[in-house]
Structure 1
């Protein structure tokens, strides 16, 4: 059922504390942790505690939680000291866009020049 933890989901396991992660922020609705394969000096994932496969399904079912993810992305950028120099928030949706874990999540990247368009 949407919103419920999924036994085979890596991010649900991180939320539950069953898989270790370098957590940088937590709220009642989100967890933010360092990406294990960083693409920038600062690369943090912000995930909702609830399970939805992508950002669109999260936003449709729980718009307040989707807003929490975006709010936390900004808080992470400030904490990482990249808010003033600029940062990028990315939601990959589907394998064609590079999504590998099907639990909604935002990538917060900063700390280097981020040319557009990306690769």
Structure 2
């Protein structure tokens, strides 16, 4: 999608502090962090919401999860842990309609989240 903020970041049209990148996945620092560690993980392929997943997309979602674990380990989060959040649709808190995960860590996280 041409005007999607995350697609534009993936195409390097908008700068971001990238912490991970491969051919299908991009991870970067959130510009409005809610914790000391707040990263966004996106597939480079535009997928608006979880309801828009197509056959074959399970491969990119699996790669997304593996990237989360790799980055979390590299950041030393394995012992303290992290929260992985995905919002879906407006009622679920989704603001940018490009499937993405928030990795949040670095402070005690309460439950329920909000």
Structure 2-normalised TM-score?
Answer: 0.93
| 1:52-63 equivalences in 2 (<5 Å) | 52-58=47-53, 60-63=55-58
Gaps of 5+ in 2: none
Note if 1:92 corresponds to 2:84: no
Secondary structure, counterpart of 2:53 in structure 1: helix
Moved over 6 A (4+): none
Indicate the residue corresponding to 2:25 in structure 1: 30
Change (3 A) 1:97 1:26: same
Indicate the residue corresponding to 2:65 in structure 1: 70
Aligned length: 114
For 2:34 and 2:21, locate their aligned partners in 1 and report how far apart those are by CA, in whole Å. 22
Indicate the residue corresponding to 1:110 in structure 2: 105
Structure 1-normalised TM-score?
Answer: 0.89
Q: 1:16 aligns with which of 4, 11, 19?
A: 11
Note if 1:83 corresponds to 2:92: no
Contact residue 13 and residue 19 of structure 1 kept, 8 A: yes
For 1:75 and 1:68, locate their aligned partners in 2 and report how far apart those are by CA, in whole Å. 10
Contact residue 33 and residue 46 of structure 1 kept, 8 A: yes
Gaps of 5+ in 1: 1-5
